[in-house]
Structure 1
Amino acid sequence: MILTVTLNTAVDVTYHLPTVRRNASNRVRDVAQRAGGKGVNVARVLAALGHEAVLTGLAGGANGQLLRADLATAGLNDQLVPIAGETRRTVALVEQDTDRTTMLLEPGPVVTAAEWSRFLARYEQLLTGSAAVVLSGSLPGGLPPDAYGVLIALATTHQVPAVLDTDGPALLAALPAGPALIKPNADELATATGSPDPSAGAEALRTAGAGAVVASLGPEGLIATTSQGSWRARPPRTVTGNPTGAGDAVVAALTIGLVAGAPWPDRLAQAVALSAATVLAPLAGSFDAGAYHRMLPLVEAERIPPRS
């Protein structure tokens, strides 16, 4: 079983429209709404690929009720901890004429110390029997800056490898706890390290405590810096669509590979193909299964020579 954690869950709203016109009325062609947050998206992908996934985190208010109802409809194993604050919404504006996506991200609730303590108790229970834990997304207000470090340390105590997908201070504060894998994107990597070179930035974060660093470079694929070497993998072709959730698909694929002990080139190939197939799907947490299976054998991971 793979456990996914989303501390700042969300109700994802996706608007599809021809283009976004600033300072004007915009008519939306269609609207979709579903339970979201990065860890929720990871759980959806894992379940779609036939893996047992359990999701936990925090949810509250009317939006929290909507979120949990959607999880039940989707058949996902919901172990969320209730809080008093209102679960946030995120809005994706998908422009069908230009393939641009604009994200509007609400900040989320403020979590009390008592709610955090209740979550930690639930989290420790769920670690028992977990093959890996995925920690994804931003931290809601009220949580300590090293909240992910606390969760990684608890996972280590239970001999459960932790995969971390966050950014900014939450990422840096978690590195000393030794996550097995982190997955920043290029911008997050540059911000965290001050280096415009993804390979140098990834090595810096490994030195800071990460077991492995896989950086997503958008259409250019992935680079991985690990104790076994470094690799780069690219999609066989450029795909356009809605990139929301593509990084979560990468995390799902990498976690599957971690649990299976797969060679790094195989992990990266699966992650690149699954990410590209997610861009072709209309909603985060979904992927085009046909495209995924067509692209998977076409993705090649090449070793990056050691830096001199």
Structure 2
Amino acid sequence: MIVTVTLNPSVDRRICVPQLALGRVQRAVSAHASAGGKGLNVARVVRQLGEEVAATGFLGGRNGEWIAKKLEQDGISGRFASIAGETRSCLNLIDLSDGSSTEVLEPGPEVTEEEMAALLDRIRELAAPETWMIVSGSLPGKCPPDYCGRLVEIASSRGARVVLDSSGEALRSGMLAGPYAIKPNEEEFLQLTGADRFSEERLAALADDLRRRGVRHTIVSLGSEGCAAMLGARLYRAKPPRVKAVNPVGSGDAFVAGLVVAWRRGADDSGALRFAAAVGAANALSEATGDVRQADIKALCERVAVSRL
């Protein structure tokens, strides 16, 4: 089973405008709402790839009820911990003149000690040796920095293979708990290493240190340049073809979904990266966030360049 964990989900509202101009009234061409947060984007793509998926995390208020119903419609099993606070909303403004995206992200609700304990109990129920668990996104308000690490430790101790895609203190605490893999983006990688630019040498050094802590794989997403990955002790680069992006938001989440699905299906390292890069690029071709089409993935897979360095 594949389980996604979204600690700070949201109702994601995407609004397209002809040309974004700050300080002026904007008239939308179209508007769309989806169940968002990185983990829910991952869950949606996993389901579109044909795998069963369960989603957990915190949900509360009317926004939480809306998300739960939306996930049910998408064929995703909701196993959330209820909170008293209102699940956040986030806004993504798409400038149709150049395809650029401007996001406004609410911080999220505060959660109590009891609510945090309830989610950890849910993780214990869902984690098992056959489980792939993807922990994505930021922490909600009042959640201590080490909470993500506690969650990863519990899931890993029960045999689940945990893939961590987070940032800041959540990433730092989570990766020290020994997940199966981590996937920072380039900015997060620079924050982790204190470097001023990305290099394969710095990736190898970080991955070597993390392997001693139990992290088997370290993958750094590099936007349109694809990714660099230390899978075990082997270094790879994977680069998708250039595409005319419609909405690039969620492409990193789609990459993670593709990677875990490929691993679960038994793909080798090169094949898993090729499939993941194609799924990530396919997401950018859709107006919706966390949305892919099988035909796009098939066409893109043939054009992804994977090299072992």
Question: TM bucket by the smaller chain?
Answer: over 0.9
Partner secondary structure for residue 15 of structure 2: strand
The separation in 1 between residues aligned to 2:225 and 2:264, in whole angstroms, is 26
Structure 1 residues 146-157: aligned runs within 5 Å: 146-157=146-157
Shift of residue 204 of structure 1?
4.0
The separation in 2 between residues aligned to 1:65 and 1:176, in whole angstroms, is 34
Which residue matches 1:297?
302
Which residue matches 2:100?
100
- Larger displacement relative to structure 2 (220-229 or 96-105): 220-229
1:215 to 217, 220, 223: 220
The separation in 2 between residues aligned to 1:35 and 1:80, in whole angstroms, is 13
TM-score (norm 1): 0.95
1:235 to 221, 226, 240: 240
- Code of the residue aligned with 1:82 in structure 2: it is S
Shift of residue 127 of structure 1?
1.2
Partner secondary structure for residue 298 of structure 1: coil
Partner secondary structure for residue 12 of structure 2: strand
Which residue matches 1:258?
263
- Code of the residue aligned with 1:199 in structure 2: it is E
Which residue matches 1:174?
174
The separation in 2 between residues aligned to 1:201 and 1:254, in whole angstroms, is 22
Q: Is the 8 A contact 1:193 1:204 kept in 2?
A: no
The separation in 1 between residues aligned to 2:226 and 2:244, in whole angstroms, is 11
Note the residue ranges of structure 2 that are not aligned, 5 or more in a row. Answer: none
- Code of the residue aligned with 2:34 in structure 1: it is R
Structure 1 residues 189-228: aligned runs within 5 Å: 189-195=189-195, 196-206=197-207, 207-208=209-210, 209=213, 210-228=215-233
Q: 1:172-195 CA deviation, whole Å, 9 max, x = no partner?
A: 122221111111111111122112
Structure 1 runs of 4+ off > 3 angstroms?
Answer: none
Shift of residue 201 of structure 1?
3.8
Shift of residue 101 of structure 1?
0.3
Q: Is the 8 A contact 2:128 2:159 kept in 1?
A: no
- Larger displacement relative to structure 2 (21-30 or 190-199): 190-199
The separation in 1 between residues aligned to 2:263 and 2:151, in whole angstroms, is 18
Partner secondary structure for residue 302 of structure 2: helix
Q: Is the 8 A contact 1:167 1:184 kept in 2?
A: yes
1:268 aligns with 2:269: no
- Larger displacement relative to structure 2 (52-61 or 223-232): 223-232
Question: Aligned pairs, how many?
Answer: 304
The separation in 1 between residues aligned to 2:186 and 2:40, in whole angstroms, is 23
Which residue matches 1:136?
136
Q: Is the 8 A contact 2:129 2:158 kept in 1?
A: no
Which residue matches 1:62?
62
Note the residue ranges of structure 1 that are not aligned, 5 or more in a row. Answer: none
Q: Is the 8 A contact 1:199 1:225 kept in 2?
A: no
- Larger displacement relative to structure 2 (202-211 or 294-303): 202-211
Structure 1 residues 82-93: aligned runs within 5 Å: 82-93=82-93
- Code of the residue aligned with 1:202 in structure 2: it is L
Shift of residue 116 of structure 1?
0.6
Shift of residue 146 of structure 1?
1.4
Structure 1 residues 273-288: aligned runs within 5 Å: 273-288=278-293
Shift of residue 239 of structure 1?
3.2
Which residue matches 2:145?
145
Which residue matches 1:8?
8
Percent identity between the two aligned chains: 37
Q: Is the 8 A contact 2:13 2:33 kept in 1?
A: yes
Shift of residue 129 of structure 1?
6.5
TM-score (norm 2): 0.94
The separation in 2 between residues aligned to 1:235 and 1:50, in whole angstroms, is 22
